[in-house]
Amino acid sequence: MSEQMSGALNVEQIMEQIRERVRLRKQAGNGSAMVSPAASIPVSQEQAAATLSVYDLSELRRNAAATDKLRSQVGTINPRRPGLHNHLIQLVKKTLRRMSMWYTRPLHEFHGSVTRTLNETARALENLQQMMRGLGERLDRMEQLEERLRLNERNFRRVAYLLEQKSNRKSAAITKTPPMFRSDIPSESEFDYFLFEERFRGSEDDIKNRQRSYLDIFQGRENVVDLGCGRGEFLELMQENGVSARGVESNTDMFLLCREKGLDVVQQSLFDYLESVPDASIGGIFCSQVIEHLPSGLEVRLVALSHKKLKPGSPLVIETINPECLFALCRNFFLDPTHVRPVHPEMLRFLLESVHFENVELQFSSPANLGQPTPKLTLPLPGPDLDRFNHVLEQMNKLLFGYQDYAVVGHRGPFRKD
């Protein structure tokens, strides 16, 4: 029994463990762990170990329970048979217990006080844990607010820039040439083309995925120019694949967006830009969804000027809406109030060939029926009649739900007088 009491009342060992835990927590508290919204209490491994050590009161509780049990059993445990001899032994044990009260009672009270204190400490740490969780949630909200503030600040700078440009134009009272294509629409116009494209053209990732099919044409080239670069999807695609490219965009909103992305872009009309660069200096020209904005006759000038400015062997890619697909014509072309007229693919092919582009070809994309062919009928009709009906049905499906876009691709040949 003395050994059991000695193990249960090893106060010095318990106090030493408590001091060691407190020391570890003090050392861990001097660490440099940063608070992160992703974790309620971001700590190092040493700090985590110290925290768990303080939370683990199971050993102390076991010792306390054993002590209380032993204390209650003193004078009641009687392994001997009843009799005078046993009665005298029990009397001596009770007497010794009363005589040792002056020593054991303070220890018991101290033990209880330590247990209560540690329980309160554990509750305080749990409260601190909850406070840290709340702090993490607040930091998350602060990050969200910071992101909104950043976007608002960017919009504010854009609006300030537009107001400044508008003020400068009014003060200068300069009469400008009417807009010739989409990117030349003045930003002060009541029609916000930037928001229009954001809503109806598709996400930037969708546009980049569609334009990936042209990557092989421009791979390994230098000084590629994107005429009417818009939001800069093609420029980003070129940048991601190590191709040096510059965008030309006169719409202020689009220009500012490309600048914020860190893209090489100039704010200028595409004709003014092409006239300003030396002949045979461009390594490739990409012009997507622009030519349908040009007034009649300017598409001829665009093709001829592009041929003049391209290096020999360099490609020209012009993408536009396919007027041979009525779905694209009704849904895409007439949706945009800045479109002037559709351009037939054979006419555009002829333009490139007439100014001596070589290897001219047409590439069709974005089928309206998502590439699902119309099933042929198997009615009990005579063979020629059924074949003729299926052929007409196929042509009608192609006319209604064919490819929505097409691109004409050509390469400049050797030097010659145009």
Higher pLDDT, 334 or 258: 258
Give yes or no: residues 60 and 192 share one domain. Answer: no
Per-residue pLDDT at 10 exceeds 70: no
Is the CB of residue 295 less than 8 Å from the CB of residue 234?
no
DSSP 8-state class, residue 37: T
From 123, 144, 165, the end of a domain falls on 144
Give yes or no: residues 265 and 315 share one domain. Answer: yes
Whole-angstrom Cα distance, residue 259 to residue 304? Answer: 29
The CA distances from residue 32 to 28, 46, 62, 258, 294, in Å, are 9, 12, 35, 40, 62
H or E stretch covering 405? strand 403-412
Output phi, psi for 224, to 5 deg.
-80, 140
Per-residue pLDDT at 40 exceeds 60: no
CATH of the domain at 370: 3.40.50.150
- Residue 178 located in a structural domain: no
Give yes or no: residues 67 and 189 share one domain. Answer: no
Per-residue pLDDT at 176 exceeds 50: no
- Residue 157 located in a structural domain: no
pLDDT (0 to 100) of residue 129? 82
Kindly report, residue by residue over 333-366, the tens digit of the pLDDT: 777 777 888 889 999 999 999 999 999 999 998 7
From 144, 163, 193, the end of a domain falls on 144
- Residue 153 located in a structural domain: no
Non-local CB neighbours of 162 within 8 Å, separated by 6+ positions: 187, 188, 252, 253
Give the pLDDT band (50/70/90) at residue 169: low
Per-residue pLDDT at 132 exceeds 70: yes
Per-residue pLDDT at 399 exceeds 50: yes
Is the CB of residue 229 less than 8 Å from the CB of residue 258?
yes
pLDDT (0 to 100) of residue 357? 96
Residue 294's nearest CA partner among 409, 182, 406, 404 is 182
- Residue 417 located in a structural domain: no
Whole-angstrom Cα distance, residue 265 to residue 250? Answer: 10
Q: What is the mean pLDDT of the chain?
A: 75
Whole-angstrom Cα distance, residue 368 to residue 20? Answer: 74
Q: Which of 163-172, 310-319, 355-364 has the lowest mean pLDDT?
A: 163-172
Q: Is 104 left (phi over 0), alpha (psi -120 to 50) or beta?
A: alpha
Per-residue pLDDT at 34 exceeds 90: no
Give yes or no: residues 207 and 128 share one domain. Answer: no
Strand intervals (E) in 244-288: 245-248, 265-266, 284-288
What letter represents residue 223's amino acid? N
Give yes or no: residues 139 and 193 share one domain. Answer: no
Give yes or no: residues 138 and 189 share one domain. Answer: no
H or E stretch covering 158? helix 101-172
Give yes or no: residues 129 and 230 share one domain. Answer: no
Kindly report, residue by residue over 272-301, the tens digit of the pLDDT: 999 999 999 999 999 999 999 898 889 999
What letter represents residue 27's amino acid? Q
Residue 325's nearest CA partner among 272, 276, 269, 365 is 365
Give yes or no: residues 67 and 201 share one domain. Answer: no
H or E stretch covering 14? helix 11-29
Give yes or no: residues 203 and 352 share one domain. Answer: yes
Q: What is the mean pLDDT of residues 69-93?
A: 63
- Residue 366 located in a structural domain: yes
pLDDT (0 to 100) of residue 227? 96
pLDDT (0 to 100) of residue 373? 58
Higher pLDDT, 378 or 48: 378
Is the CB of residue 352 less than 8 Å from the CB of residue 303?
yes
Output phi, psi for 411, to 5 deg.
-125, 140
Give yes or no: residues 192 and 98 share one domain. Answer: no
Q: What is the mean pLDDT of residues 220-230?
A: 94
Whole-angstrom Cα distance, residue 10 to residue 226? Answer: 83
Residue 312's nearest CA partner among 286, 283, 348 is 283
Give yes or no: residues 16 and 108 share one domain. Answer: yes
Domain that holds residue 200: 183-412
Q: What is the mean pLDDT of residues 386-415?
A: 75
Q: At what angle do helices 11-29 and 45-55 cross, to 10 degrees?
A: 150
- Residue 162 located in a structural domain: no
From 87, 120, 144, the end of a domain falls on 144
Q: What is the mean pLDDT of residues 169-186?
A: 46
pLDDT (0 to 100) of residue 248? 96
Per-residue pLDDT at 85 exceeds 60: yes
Our count of domains for the chain comes to 2
Kindly report, residue by residue over 368-387, the tens digit of the pLDDT: 766 555 666 566 656 666 66
Is the pTM of the predicted complex or chain greater than 0.75? no
| Residue linked to tokens 């041979």 | 324
Give yes or no: residues 31 and 103 share one domain. Answer: yes
